[in-house]
Structure 1
Amino acid sequence: MQFKQVIGQHTLKKELPELMKENRLAHALLFLGKEGSGALSLALAFAQYIVCERASPKPPSAEGASLFGDLLPPPLPGERRLGGEADSCGTCPSCVKAAAFAHPDIHFSYPVVTKKPGTPPISTDYITEWREFLKEYPFGNAYDWLQFIGAENKQGNITAQECNDIIKKLNLKSFESEYKVLVIWLPEYLGNEGNKLLKLIEEPPPNTVFLLVAENESQILATILSRVQLIKVPLLEDKDIEAALNENNRTTHEAAARIAAVSQGNYHTALQMVQHADEDWQELLRGWLNAIMKTGPVAQSKWVDEVSKLGREKQKQFLQYFNHLLQLALKMQIFENAGEGYPDRDRDFAARLNKITGMEQQEAIITGLDNAAYYIERNANSKMLFMALTIKIYHIIKDKIVFLNE
């Protein structure tokens, strides 16, 4: 993967090659970004840049640098040299292998489950599936990955056996590149066994680079956090998501703009919404709020039964859409032209929400929705969760009742 294939993140795409150019590359980097920010894509592009035979400078040899500088090979057609947004050439043998996630000096570690009964689970067992997953779902999350390998309800882990395998690999001599690179996806899945890697991370073999990609800093071992250089990956901008949907998914400009606004910088969510673009979340939300504030417990139970059949990803999207409308309602209370650029239906519904809720109530509901999405991600019972959320929302807004009619 090249930097030019990474969605958005223009500042980091410029700064990361500078680490190589100015010889400031730390031996362990942590790409910290929320789901859908593209942190894994950035790490993959940087790994390819590091091993690229033409883009990145070679490290000093044992004999020391040449007195007169090393001669760079002539540029390939279209090759981008360092300066500005530098990139790997994409055409040298190393880039071709890295793009296929098959470079012998780029190693991967990720959560896995036991593949064969009686054998310890290690990442190498799933390398074929991993390469396919990266090509098909570069913005996939842990749930997508575990479903992709058929883990079902099993919990993925990066085990002690995996740590031993990493130590063994990185202590071997590199095959082709001057560098050895290890990409660890979701080090949050490392338990205390991750301490096995501390000495290797702190004092790695020469020209060895660790690229850790994480979503939740608080779930990473403190002993590992203290030994890495933090690279914060921000959420994507709406314009970058919109452009990517137009270019990569052939989504209409109107639909792309609407999805980008709702996805809140999460391209994984945006892709999920494209797949379910025909879903009328607003109609479902209208039915819920009318059941809460107008028609009573029987309608509420019927609605909860209906939404519990949607499946986890659709439930999360629905909560995300409600969250988006509440945030739009908040903006419209504060800024005069906050609704500009949003679809008329969203703007109208947000105005209706402002009639039945104040800012404190909207913030309380947003917190409830965020908590519900968190528990859905962890396989909470959807019927119990949505019924509890229904009761909570009722108590938040019961003093201001307005029927939400079309």
Structure 2
Amino acid sequence: MLFADVIGQSEIKAQLTDMVQHNRLSHALLFLAKEGTGGLPLALAFAQYIVCEKVQRSLNANDISADLFAPALFDDAPGEQQPVEMLADACGICSACTKAAALVHPDIHYSYPVLPKKSGDKPTSTDYITAWRDFIKQLPYGNLYDWLQSINAENRQGNITAEECNDIIRKLSLKTFESKYKVLIMWMPEMLGKEGNKLLKLIEEPPANTLFILVAENESLILPTILSRCQLVKIPALDNRSIAGQLVAKAGIDKEQARQLAAISDGNYREALQQLNHAGEDWLQLVREWLNAILKNGPIALVKWIDETSKMGREKQKQFLRYFNHLVEMAVRIRILGEESEWAQSLPFTEKDFILRINKMADISQQEAIVEELDKASYYIERNANAKILFHALSLKLFHVLRDKATVRPW
């Protein structure tokens, strides 16, 4: 995988390549990335960058001179030097890149949660390598649940086992086959448990040119002894523009729908893909109809709206509430930045107009109350609350917040 294949994260990509080019690469990195933000794709792209033959040639050339310049082959003026190109990505065409992209490079190893295929088994990641390659090909932004379902785990819990730790020690004690470096990518080190103590000495004093890349979502679940031995690289949430662009390019949906999905995905590309499966609604129009029913058209219109909305299904209801929440948050933002700010000017006209109407209708304290109520409603829907009762109660709450300038009240 190339850095170019990873959604957004330009600053992190630059940070990683800079580590390599200026010889500041730690032997153990911990990529801390929330679900759907690209921790695993970044690790795969970084490993490919490290073993890329063209990258290595450029680094070796730069070692010739302390000033990171190599002698020109044909110099018009003796003593002058020309800069060696510093690559920002792997070439993608050399033998090492081809193998790394197919997840078959002999010097890049993978470790991930697995489970016994039958009672008494002591599984290792290698036992599932074919399934792992298929998973990366289909769901590079997938989470642990997606991976376990792809190997038919059902309700069983995957783990990185003691046997796997022994296998890692054995693999990394061998000499490299083709590359200068050996790389271990461990996905979800949270699933190591106490077995991770087996790897402490190896992580602290690894063989020469050995790199550990741990990709985690929750650092609090990782052994402190492992955390202390790793350089932390925090992967931020994806920006909405990057997610929307990827949805347009890969899913083939229109820009407006992609932008709406990105807005409610909270920087999580996997969530955006999940929402795409339940997409197809004009959420802005639905919010408009709801507020009109609450404040203007009366109880008959409101009952009709609630009846129709309650038939949408939980996922669409949550998606709708997230979008409404997003609109209110944008209203607060535009209030602070101003209507003429560059960010405000980039908004679609219909959405910007609606956001400005929200600001006229509610002050910041009211908007805070609305956000809190929408969050509560989404929480209750996730726990199987009756949709009709919930939307009736939520409508009454919004009526009091908007008409009576009430703050948050109990349900």
TM-score above 0.5, yes or no: yes
Give the 3 Å change call, closer, same or farther, for CA 199–186 of structure 1 in structure 2. same
Alignment partner of 2:332 out of 330, 338, 343:
330
Structure 1, 141-150 or 87-96: larger mean CA deviation = 141-150
Give the 3 Å change call, closer, same or farther, for CA 360–143 of structure 1 in structure 2. farther
- Cα-to-partner distance string for 1:183-238 (whole Å, 9 max, x where unaligned): 11122233233222222111112211011112233333222221111122222333
Structure 1, 204-213 or 240-249: larger mean CA deviation = 240-249
State the AA in 1 paired with 2:252. Answer: R
- Cα-to-partner distance string for 1:6-50 (whole Å, 9 max, x where unaligned): 222223323322322222211111122222222221111110111
| CA–CA separation in structure 2 for the residues paired with 1:152 and 1:179 | 37
TM-score (norm 1): 0.77
How far 1:155 moved relative to its partner? 2.9
SS at match of 1:232: strand
Stretches of structure 1 that go unaligned for 5 or more consecutive residues are: 75-80
Aligned to 1:21: 21
Aligned to 2:77: none
How far 1:356 moved relative to its partner? 6.7
Q: Is 2:197 aligned against 1:195?
A: yes
Give the 3 Å change call, closer, same or farther, for CA 47–168 of structure 1 in structure 2. same
Aligned to 1:12: 12
How far 1:106 moved relative to its partner? 1.0
Superposed CA RMSD in Å reads 4.2
Q: How does 1:239-318 map to 2 (within 5 A)?
A: 239-282=241-284, 306=311, 309-310=313-314, 314=316, 317-318=319-320
Select the structure of larger CA radius of gyration.
2
SS at match of 2:56: coil
Structure 1, 1-10 or 49-58: larger mean CA deviation = 49-58
State the AA in 2 paired with 1:39. Answer: G
| CA–CA separation in structure 1 for the residues paired with 2:193 and 2:113 | 11
- Cα-to-partner distance string for 1:324-352 (whole Å, 9 max, x where unaligned): 12212222433432754434554465456
State the AA in 1 paired with 2:347. Answer: Y
How far 1:181 moved relative to its partner? 0.7
Q: Is the 8 A contact 1:17 1:82 kept in 2?
A: no
Give the 3 Å change call, closer, same or farther, for CA 278–300 of structure 1 in structure 2. closer
Q: Is the 8 A contact 1:2 1:88 kept in 2?
A: yes
Q: Is the 8 A contact 2:109 2:184 kept in 1?
A: yes
Q: Is 2:153 aligned against 1:151?
A: yes
| CA–CA separation in structure 1 for the residues paired with 2:326 and 2:4 | 30
- Cα-to-partner distance string for 1:334-382 (whole Å, 9 max, x where unaligned): 3432754434554465456557754345445546766887899xxx633
Alignment partner of 1:98 out of 97, 100, 108:
100
State the AA in 2 paired with 1:109. Answer: S
Structure 1, 388-397 or 37-46: larger mean CA deviation = 388-397
| CA–CA separation in structure 2 for the residues paired with 1:393 and 1:345 | 23
Q: Is the 8 A contact 1:14 1:84 kept in 2?
A: no
- Cα-to-partner distance string for 1:49-90 (whole Å, 9 max, x where unaligned): 111222125999xxxx99999x99x9xxxxxx9755522221
State the AA in 2 paired with 1:33. Answer: A
Alignment partner of 1:237 out of 236, 239, 244:
239
State the AA in 1 paired with 2:167. Answer: D
Q: Is the 8 A contact 1:372 1:385 kept in 2?
A: no
TM-score (norm 2): 0.76
Give the 3 Å change call, closer, same or farther, for CA 246–159 of structure 1 in structure 2. same
Percent identity of equivalent pairs: 52
State the AA in 2 paired with 1:164. Answer: N
Structure 1, 208-217 or 15-24: larger mean CA deviation = 15-24
SS at match of 1:54: helix
Give the 3 Å change call, closer, same or farther, for CA 193–304 of structure 1 in structure 2. farther
Give the 3 Å change call, closer, same or farther, for CA 381–344 of structure 1 in structure 2. same
| CA–CA separation in structure 2 for the residues paired with 1:120 and 1:305 | 48
Q: Is the 8 A contact 1:100 1:131 kept in 2?
A: yes
Give the 3 Å change call, closer, same or farther, for CA 174–282 of structure 1 in structure 2. same
| CA–CA separation in structure 1 for the residues paired with 2:114 and 2:376 | 27
- Cα-to-partner distance string for 1:124-153 (whole Å, 9 max, x where unaligned): 232111111111112222232222222233
Q: Is the 8 A contact 1:106 1:182 kept in 2?
A: yes
SS at match of 2:402: coil
Stretches of structure 2 that go unaligned for 5 or more consecutive residues are: 74-82, 405-411
State the AA in 2 paired with 1:27. Answer: H
Aligned to 2:409: none
| CA–CA separation in structure 1 for the residues paired with 2:256 and 2:246 | 13
| CA–CA separation in structure 2 for the residues paired with 1:85 and 1:319 | 44
Structure 1, 40-49 or 348-357: larger mean CA deviation = 348-357
State the AA in 1 paired with 2:153. Answer: A
Aligned to 1:359: 364
State the AA in 2 paired with 1:40. Answer: L
Number of equivalenced pairs: 384
Q: Is 2:115 aligned against 1:113?
A: yes
Q: Is the 8 A contact 1:36 1:265 kept in 2?
A: yes
Q: Is the 8 A contact 1:184 1:211 kept in 2?
A: yes
SS at match of 1:47: helix
| CA–CA separation in structure 1 for the residues paired with 2:165 and 2:196 | 7
Aligned to 2:182: 180
| CA–CA separation in structure 2 for the residues paired with 1:116 and 1:336 | 62
Give the 3 Å change call, closer, same or farther, for CA 151–374 of structure 1 in structure 2. farther
